[in-house]
A and B are shown apart, each in its own frame.
Chain A
């Protein structure tokens, strides 16, 4: 009875196997790898990508894509930075910054849903527009010095655990619950699976698309908060290219590029695989220039795997 479901489930297990394998190889290669300090470092580094990828998983599950997340990171960080610099208390600035990110996501969603435009083009445009606005507002220079309350979010610790780790794990758990346990998550997947069918059954598909993009924007905003708080400085080019990592983690995690199939658990594992590999490159003193090549290759391979799985399915 469980036979037919095995393929989906087993993919996550394979992914987990790969994670353990990579960790094993790196443990053998570097004595420093398996120390608590390094593990915490990996978790801390992964936090931003994790938050970003959870939002991306929702979007890709629905058969859409959001290329603007990297720019939203920059935009949310910069808006929080400018607000604090202009005298707004940090908590209020954070909330405003997150609301702005949510609104950007909402605009993406509104254009995609009501303008019936391909999300690739829409978010590619908003990506460049946002980056342009950031550069104009800041005159291409960074904004810094936000005080200790704000910095705590990025580098503070609760016990031995850094704040970003806590935030990212909470969001991953919420994302998993949302996608796999709720009606909203079911509709996300159904939009990717058969949007027309969902519409015919009386569900307001457009509304859900707007919500999905809004949530992705919010996730990117939270990632921006972490980035900015960690450096205690808002950089105009913060988050550039991060969309690539988020997409790679999502696809590697088993979410189908065409939508209709998604796994937040897979995304989380994939995210750790990517970040462990990056960490490994650093530990083995390999130039960080290779990181981009690695991420690109992983994305390429995972898309190939994903497509072949999809094809196998349609041949049944």
Chain B
């Protein structure tokens, strides 16, 4: 297995620090297709870890396993010291593993507050405490520097960056400690993606663990602390972003450089 090349860049430089998330030798196949062939990787608190790789490298499968959507055939997932052989999505959420999906999982006809509190509404005997929820939504968005003037507008009326903000705020509100972003800046304008990147940085700065999956290498280099390169179902290299050139990563992704 690959040696970990760096521990907890960013907030903590503690060498003893154990990873918030650790996967050991994860295997997963779909029929004859082996999607993951022994994936071991770590993610630390306060860092942004980017997972890069070509289509079919196994990134999405890995993410689905981490968020409990898929069950690995074998291998162990270790979250905050607790070991799991297979998570359920419920369990993953309870452990603070939250995924921001590409489609953001928002109800566009529903207002910002309803989306923020989805699944954890404040109620009294089943009745919604709308006023309290609106106030808390307001505070939550302000804390995360997400610019949304009115929490009672339908999410469908917001910009892409604002919608991403709502999706993230929901995860943080639900006690997310490890946030996984799947293509966070896909199909976004320059301003929008800058806002999202800023938000991701801020989250890591507050001590959360952030994993992003992206094809956009400039963005990856802009915000990540470490880069984990996947190819054909394996993690072929974990790199410190500072000490890495973009060309190297491109070469690894495409297979021009083999590390085995």
- Which A residues fall within an 8 A CB radius of B? 1, 4-5, 181-184, 186, 189-190, 192-194, 196-198, 200-203, 256, 260-261, 313-314, 316
Contacts and interface: CB of A to CB of B under 8 A. Distances in A.
B150 A4 contact: yes
Nearest to A186: B114
A270 to B, nearest CB: 19
Nearest to B92: A202
Given A1-B150, A5-B152, A194-B108, A201 B126 contact: no
Contacts of B106: 194, 197
A197 B109 contact: no
Nearest to B157: A316
Contacts of B103: 196
B186 interface: no
13 contacts: A182-B123, A186-B114, A186-B121, A189-B110, A190-B110, A194-B107, A194-B108, A197-B106, A201-B105, A201-B174, A260-B109, A261-B109, A314-B156
Nearest to A313: B156
A314 B155 CA distance: 11
Contact of A197 (B107, B121, B123, B154): B107
Given A5-B152, A193-B110, 9 more contacts: A4-B157, A183-B126, A186-B114, A190-B118, A200-B101, A201-B105, A202-B90, A260-B107, A313-B154
Contacts of B110: 186, 189-190, 193-194, 260
A183 B149 contact: no
The list of the 3 closest CB pairs from A to B, nearest first, reads A193-B107, A201-B119, A260-B109
Contacts of B156: 313-314, 316
A2 to B, nearest CB: 8
B119 A184 contact: no
Interface of B: 89-90, 93, 101, 103, 105-110, 114, 118-121, 123, 126-128, 149-150, 152-154, 156-157, 170, 174
Contacts of A4: 150, 153-154, 157
A260 B108 contact: yes
Given A183-B128, A184-B126, A192 B118 contact: no
B150 A189 contact: no
A189 to B, nearest CB: 6
A197 B105 contact: yes
A271 B80 CA distance: 56
B149 A200 contact: no
Contact of A1 (B90, B121, B126, B149): B149
A256 B157 contact: no
Contacts of A193: 107-110
Nearest to A314: B156
A260 B106 CA distance: 11
Given A190-B114, A202-B89, A183 B123 contact: yes
Among A184, A194, A256, residue most surrounded by chain B Cβ atoms (within 10 Å): A194
Contact of B105 (A5, A200, A256): A200
B126 A198 contact: no
Contacts of A194: 105-108, 110
A197 B120 CA distance: 13
A314 B157 CA distance: 8
Nearest to A185: B128
A203 B119 CA distance: 6
